[in-house]
Amino acid sequence: MALAFARAFSSAGRGIGKRSTHTYKVILELNLNKKLAVKRSVIAVALTLGGAQVALAQQQAAQPIQKVIVTGSNIKRAVDTETSSTVQVLGKAEIAALGASTVKDVLDTLTSSATNTLSDKTGGNSFAGGASGISLRNLGKNSTLTLLNGRRVANYGLADGGQQTFVNIDAMPSEVIERVEVLLDGASAVYGSDAVAGVINIITKRDFQGVLAKAGARQSLLNSKLDKNKTASLTAGMGDFEADGYNVFGHFEAFQRDPYTVRETINTVPAWWGKYVNPSYGVKSTYSYPGNYVDRYPSNYADPALAGKSFSTPVAGCTDVVDGTCRFDQWGSLGRSPEAKRYNFFGTGRMKLGGNRVGFSELTLGQTNTTYFNPPGILQYTGTASNWYNSKDGKLNSYTEPKLPVGHPNNPYSFPVALRYRYADDLTLAKNEAQSKQYRAMVGLEGSDYGWDWSSAIGIMGSKVDNEERGRRHAANYNAAILSGEYKFGGVNSPDLLMRMFPVYVFGGESKQTFIDAKASRELMQLEGGPLSLAIGGDFRRDEFSAYVSDNIASGQLVGLGSINVDGSRNISAAFAELNAPLTKKLEVNGAVRLDKVGDTDLSLVPKLGMRYEVNKRFMVRGTIANGFRAPNVAETGKVDLAAFRNNNVDPKRCATANQLYAALKTGNTLDQADALRARDLGCSVSLASLVKGNPNLEPEKSRSYNIGLVMEPLANMSVTFDYYHIERRNEIGTRSTVQILTDEDRRPGSVQRLPVTADDMRLAARAKELTGKDIVFPIGPISAVSNTYENMDRTRVSGLDMEVNHRWNMGSAGKLVSNLKANYQLDYRSWDTVTNTFTENLAGNYENYRYRVRASTAWSRGAWNVGGAVTYMPGTRLYDNKYDTNYTAQGCADQGIDAEYCQIKRDVVTDMNLSYTGFKNTTLYLNLYNVFDRAPVADVRTSYEPSRGRSVRAAVQYKF
């Protein structure tokens, strides 16, 4: 809510209305966009958690009322006006007090943001590795619109899951931010597509003079490797806009996060992780270098005492033998946190051109490099084939790991032998480096003519990503190198050979957009409560998106890899209008409407209506009703070829027969019993290719949202807001599950691709007949692939409460104190049940769906000292997702041996403190202590990411030349 401080507090009467006539110096760090209009002498609070910069924010009556554009509107309004929509603001001082190293650090403090959104720390195996997103209301990162200075930012060059496009917030500079405005309301009527759950508007400095340098570092006090990062920034500008007629400045910042492995931080992982999640955690692997021979002597072996017996023997030369087996510490090369290097630049300029016209420009450049490490790959003979899809030829590929043949230089036996081996020749063989570059450049004009305030801009923006990886086998080259003996197990192998066996492969993508926009606003006439104001405008965008893989993936050369290919473009045009009508001194009504044409989809007409009513000088009611939409993106409607491979599927047309064959073959000899398992897998545990195509006939996702709230000032220096929200989204775009596709095979011809009945099918049937005399024959051939496409199919419904309380206290010579509390309470969250074709039960309070979230903070300032603290509270949740998730109910936990104590997510409370000092000339010192009470991470036996958390500290220094 409101966030700037005042040095003194007026004793004038409080209430909704205009400011008092007292004269005070204005500090422009006031959150000019959102002021509680619940008092005549408005006091804006800039919550600093470690620094309350306090100054009174009142104007002389003779001064003109300053007006600004508020996020969620195109109409300028007075800075002391609370709008009909809920807008939360994080000011520059508050952001500085957080000690935030990145934009993600800032946005993670929002009580309305989801906690399980994509992060570059844990996204190494995602389609969009190396990036972080933000999701409001837990409705997904593609339903939260992220803006920079009120305009769109290019989507990341890769779509998460091959489908979800989003803005990579890691590619934005954090030190140049003036404030972040968070609109917690549907805003498609103002901004168009994607603004379903809300809007995050990151607003930078408008001008700067001089030179400002800042550097900081963070370090864990639990383990020297944890939470280790460094930041540095430099801002330089010149020109006084009012006196010189221009201002131009540039800002550069760098961020580096150091990587660490499991072994380096294994002492920080709690005991429950090893007990319930990974019992072998920390245990050295038998897939080692130079390895172990693990096999069985042939039944006709020359030595009868050994015939048919299994054995495990370390290869000669092993230096780490434990319990008779050669070991390798894979945890020493398994990364727990990836290395990250980021470089961001922001530059802007403004120049007066005469005649109330101003030219402006912006340039944003970002580069991120994120490197993930995994242990080197292994040689593991199982006798089972690995299957994957060759998207270039449209065929299934198959590969079986070889044994070392007789006569192989590394086979000392007289029979083919299986070797358990790790390719530790080069510990970087399993590296994944995500490299992205992002840009936005624009120029524009703004001014005032004939009573209209207008602005227009033209620009380009884009993002290009290449994920370069190694570690997958080249099926032909790998097999040849092993069988020929060219690869020397435990010996020296050339980089050229290793590159042929484990080549570099690429998942890449690019998004590009050109745009032009224009808008204008004016006052039409005076009403009882103020001017009737109108805004109109439009924009045009050309949107292009592509995703690709290297040829060695597309042609199926690499074992087990799926592929993606997307290519498409679209034109987006829109026109909008907005009207704000203060009908009386108490009642204000506003409305907006927008017409969008996105590609080949139908026109989307999206309205929004808002109202605010001042009951009395300390109490206001507000509300909105809005439609919203998300247009299908190019990754959903364009030329799309997405291929993945899915295992352990039940084939409804073959599983019953497979079980009958299993029962029949189990009555036979040893070979028959082995065949019985294979027969069952042929129908009840099927591997198949999953192919997804784009759908040009998709309709937009649509939503309807309602908000109603109260704004109060119960005490002279206290403001309180309560807002209820309800959002229902329909026509959600997704794909049908494999189970659905197989069940509906007859109703959807062509969705399941099958091969003819195989020779293996017939062999097993013939043997079963010999054993039982019955004809047990597969009625149809095996599945090779299922075809899928994006469809409008699901819904989500969510409702809840947002609350914010601000309190300000002038303690005279003892300083100033400000307190803030933000909370979100989720009343209802329901997704769509595709089994019953109805909404699910209420999922609020289930796994990763917190019922509520609270953040309370306080800040004290006196002279050069600023001290603050914050407490974040997360309640506990159930361990299961929904009623179908029986593995983590109380009974499910008991069946798995999970103690009741861990069959839940317990509450989490984290306390942070901060300190800043401005007593040295032109210098500010910052100190942050995170997790002050050293609380251990909350136990989560479902997580796949090892939790570590201890106390950590960050120090920074800022100097202005």
Number of domain units in the chain: 3
* Cβ contact 153:114 at 8 Å: no
Alpha carbons 333 and 642: distance in angstroms, whole number: 31
- Say if residue 676 is in the same domain as residue 797: no
Are 810 and 897 contained in the same domain? no
Looking at 869-944, list the stretches that DSSP marks H as alpha helix, in order from N- to C-terminal side. Answer: 890-896
Q: Contact 662/672 with Cβ under 8 angstroms? A: no
Structure tokens at 209: 């003079």
Q: What is the pLDDT of residue 29?
A: 30
Backbone angles phi and psi of 281, in degrees to 5: -60, 125
Mean pLDDT, rounded, for 898-926: 96
CA distance 16 to 610: 18
Instruction: Look at residue 232 in the predicted model and tell me its pLDDT.
Output: 97
Q: How many CA atoms lie within 13 A of 441 on its CB side?
A: 3
- Residues 869 and 50: their CA atoms lie apart, in Å, by 7
Q: Which of 546, 548, 520 is nearest to 534 (CA)?
A: 520
In a domain, 626, yes or no: yes
Flag whether 328 is in a domain.
no
pLDDT of amino acid 428: 81
β-strand pairing of 604-616 with 619-630: antiparallel
Any domain includes 39: no
Which tokens go with 292? 């172990």
What is the pLDDT, as a whole number, of residue 61?
Answer: 39
pLDDT at 32: 30
State the sign of the Cα–Cα–Cα–Cα dihedral 61, 63, 69, 73: positive
Residues 590 and 679 placed together within one structural domain of the fold: no
| CATH number of the domain residue 832 falls in | 2.40.170.20
Determine the residue type at 500. R
Phi, psi (degrees; rounded to nearest 5) at 322: -125, 125
- The predicted model gives 733-762 an average pLDDT of 92
Question: CB–CB of 45/717 below 8 Å?
Answer: no
Whether pLDDT at 48 is above 50: no
Task: Compare 647 and 342 and report the one with higher pLDDT.
Answer: 342
- pLDDT beyond 60 at 51: no
Nearest residue to 638 via CA among 765, 750, 525, 548: 548
What is the average per-residue pLDDT within 82-99? 87
Lowest mean pLDDT among 57-66, 667-676, 777-786, 881-890: 57-66
Domain extent at residue 894: 876-906
Q: What would the DSSP string read from start to end of 431-443?
A: EEEEEEEEEEEEE
DSSP string, 681-746: HHHHSEEEEEEEE--TTPPPEEEEEEEEEEEE-SSTTEEEEEEEEEEEEEEEEE---HHHHHHTTT
Rg for the chain, CA atoms, rounded: 32
Q: Evaluate whether residue 424 is within a structural domain.
A: no
- What value does the mean pLDDT take over residues 658-676? 90
The secondary structure element, H or E, covering residue 917 is strand 908-917
Of 857, 859, 919, 868, nearest to 5 by C-alpha is: 859
Q: Please state, in angstroms and rounded to a whole number, the distance separating the CA atoms of residues 794 and 835.
A: 12
- Mean pLDDT across the stretch 422-433? 89
Residues 367 and 461 in one domain: yes
pLDDT at site 678: 87
> What's the confidence (pLDDT) of residue 646?
85
Q: What CA–CA distance (Å, rounded) separates 444 from 459? A: 9
Q: Which of 320-334, 449-463, 519-533, 937-951 has the lowest mean pLDDT?
A: 937-951
**pLDDT confidence of residue 80:** 56
User: Which of 856, 847, 846, 868 is CA-nearest to residue 824?
Assistant: 856
Residue 143, helix vs strand vs coil: helix
Are 777 and 860 found together in one domain?
no
Antiparallel, parallel or unpaired: β 335-337 and 260-261: antiparallel
In whole angstroms, what is the distance from residue 618 CA to residue 603 CA? 43
Outline where DSSP puts E strands in 599-638: 604-616, 619-630
Same domain (yes/no): 757, 856 = no
Q: What is the mean pLDDT of the chain?
A: 89
> How far apart (Å, rounded) are the C-alpha atoms in residues 529 and 710?
20
Residue owning tokens 């597969």: 778
Q: Which of 751, 772, 789 is the last residue of a domain?
A: 789
The distance of Cα 897 from the centroid of its chain, to the nearest Å, equals: 33
Query: What mean pLDDT comes out for the span 246-257?
Result: 97
Q: How confident is the model at residue 44 (pLDDT cuts 50, 70, 90)?
A: very low
Res 60: pLDDT: 38
Pairing of strands 783-789, 686-693: parallel
* Same-domain status, 781 and 859: no
Query: How much is the average pLDDT of 861-873?
Result: 95
Cβ contact 942:275 at 8 Å: no
In degrees, to the nearest 5, what angle opens at C-alpha 535 toward C-alphas 532 and 536?
140
Closest CA to 14 of 41, 34, 35: 41
Torsion of CA 748, 754, 756, 761, to 10 degrees: -120
The confidence score (pLDDT) of residue 38 equals: 37
Per-residue DSSP letter, 426: -
Percent of the chain with pLDDT over 70: 93
Residue 663 has phi, psi (to 5 degrees) of -65, -40
Are 112 and 176 within one domain?
yes
Does 816 lie in the same domain as 925?
Answer: yes
Q: How far apart are CA 116 and CA 225, in angstroms?
A: 24
DSSP H or E stretch at residue 934: none
Q: Is the pLDDT of residue 875 over 70?
A: yes
CB distance 607 to 576 below 8 Å: no
Residue that terminates a domain, selected from 889, 906, 923: 906
Looking at residue 78, its pLDDT comes to: 65
The region of weakest confidence among 55-64, 200-209, 574-583 is 55-64
Phi/psi of residue 444, each to 5°?
-160, 175
Which tokens go with 324? 């008779």
pLDDT tens, residue by residue, 927-955 = 999 999 999 999 999 987 778 889 999 99
List, for residues 568-602, the tens digit of each pLDDT value: 999 999 999 999 999 999 999 999 999 999 998 88
Residue 81: band (very low, low, confident or very high) from pLDDT cuts 50, 70, 90: low
Q: pLDDT at residue 672 above 70?
A: yes
| Cα 111 to Cα 109: distance, rounded to the nearest angstrom | 6
pLDDT (0 to 100) of residue 2:
34
CA distance 955 to 926: 6
Please report, as a single letter, which amino acid is at residue 652.
Answer: P
With respect to residue 894, please indicate whether it lies within any of the assigned structural domains. yes
Q: Indicate the length of the chain as a whole number.
A: 961
Quick one: pLDDT at residue 4?
33
Give percent of the chain above pLDDT 90. Answer: 75
> What are 619's strand-pairing partners?
616, 712
What's the confidence (pLDDT) of residue 5? 29
Q: Are residues 675 and 531 in the same domain?
A: no
Lowest mean pLDDT across 121-125, 454-458, 736-740, 799-803: 121-125
Half-sphere exposure of 506 (CA within 13 A, CB side): 12
DSSP of 237-290, one letter per residue?
Answer: EE--HHHHSEEEEEEEEEEEE--EEHHHHGGGS-HHIIIII-TTTTPPBSSBSS
**Structure-block tokens of residue 591:** 């409305």
> Residues 68, 32: contact at Cβ < 8 Å?
yes
Residue 320 placed within a domain: no
The C-alpha atoms of residue 40 and residue 19 are separated, in whole angstroms, by 4
Is 721 a residue whose pLDDT tops 70? yes
Q: Does the N-terminal peptide bond of residue 290 adopt cis geometry, omega within 30 degrees of 0? A: yes
Read off the pLDDT of residues 632-665 as tens digits, 9 standing for 90 and up.
999 999 999 998 888 889 999 999 999 999 999 9
Is residue 864, in this structure, part of any structural domain at all? yes
Whether 36 has a pLDDT exceeding 70, the answer reads no
Hey, what are 459's tokens? 């620009």
Q: Phi and psi dihedrals of 407, rounded to 5?
A: 90, -10
The pLDDT score that the predictor gives to residue 602 is 86
What does the alpha-carbon distance between residue 771 and residue 671 come to, in Å, rounded to a whole number?
13
Residue 686 sits in the same domain as residue 586: no
Beta carbons within 8 Å of 272's beta carbon, 6+ residues apart: 902, 939, 941
The H-or-E segment that residue 353 falls in is: strand 339-354
**Is 409 part of a structural domain of the chain?**
no
Question: What mean pLDDT comes out for the span 239-265?
Answer: 95
Lowest-pLDDT range, 47-61, 301-315, 387-401, 828-842? 47-61
How far is C-alpha 144 from the chain's CA centre?
11
Pairwise CA distance, residues 797 & 623, whole Å: 19
| 3-state SS assignment for residue 291 | coil
Please give the single-letter amino acid code of residue 57.
A
Backbone angles phi and psi of 332, in degrees to 5 = -75, -15
The residue from 759, 789, 819 where one domain ends is 789
Does one domain contain both 798 and 653?
Answer: no
